[in-house]
Structure 1
Amino acid sequence: MKLIAGLGNPGVKYENTRHNFGFMVADSFAKSQGLMWKISRDWVCYYAKTNEFVVVKPSTFMNKSGEAVRSVAEYFKIDSGDILAIHDDLDLPFGKIRISFDSMSAGHKGVQSVIESLSGPDFARLRVGVDHPDKDDPEKYVLEQFTKEEIKHLPSVVERSIEAIRSYLSDGVQATMNRFN
């Protein structure tokens, strides 16, 4: 079994922000698979599952995402090498996606939480570019709503991300990296 973890912040306030790209992709992927979200207070997350994978959206704030990922992984006995975390990435141009494995957080607090909770970075990541602001405050930037121009491109970015998830599930991380990077 594999675990797909969309990282984001809970609540309406954060729904359409750059930092919630992980939630957006997880929602769209679950919907494309005909899955319905359930809530687990024990695992502190929303989850949807099949016999092959479980999709998770932590119900904690971003910097505590690792708690839910670890809880679900432990319950289903999923090795960290079978986990894919989906998150926004300031270092990629808007809409560009990259698959990585066994890499550090690059300052992303949600990814750092997952690394700490799993005792290492040996899991896959689907990084979705939100661009790097020309501003001094990247934390403020990622919590802002998408611009009108960005909104026009969201459907194609989310669809490409879903294709990457499907590739990861069927072909593994290396083949997915070769195809999408």
Structure 2
Amino acid sequence: MKVIVGSKNPVKSRAVENILKKIYPEQEVEVLSREVDSGVPDQPLGQDETIQGAVNRAKNAYSEEFDLSVGIESGLVPVKETITGYVDMQWCAIYDGEKVTLGVSAGFEYPPHVVEEVLKGREVGHIMDELTGVDNLGKKRGAVSFLTDGLLDRVGNSEQCVLMAMVPWMNSDLYKI
């Protein structure tokens, strides 16, 4: 199986590879990556914008030499009854040249200061780099690892959305795909 991820972020590629190797243990799984345009702002706000970024990444990465293409996008989604009014959610889109399936990871809240800065136009990644003192935190263990004291890292969080997006492929007879 040959798969392309629409991002050069190594965390996303690792998450895709980890999940697909578990789903298809008898197959050789080759995961490549390429940088593509998400078609949404660098810091997506809202569920629709975040999902569109994931779908755009998957479709923009796809070419017929691949069995599947994968787009993963994180964004802040408005959620009532939260401290900040927003939850970070990571969406995955998987595309085979015809159809798209979607999955989402567990969501979490950033500290209020981080959300306030994002709403002023800054990216979460830059703010979290400053807060933690780690350059490119999002390409390493991720903010979720920092905020959970290492109980969940970004690879694990990304694996969640990839697995959920694979559910229809794993059950193609039930989903008629």
TM-score (norm 1): 0.40
TM-score (norm 2): 0.41
For CA contacts below 8 A with separation 6 or more, give which structure has more relative contact order: 1
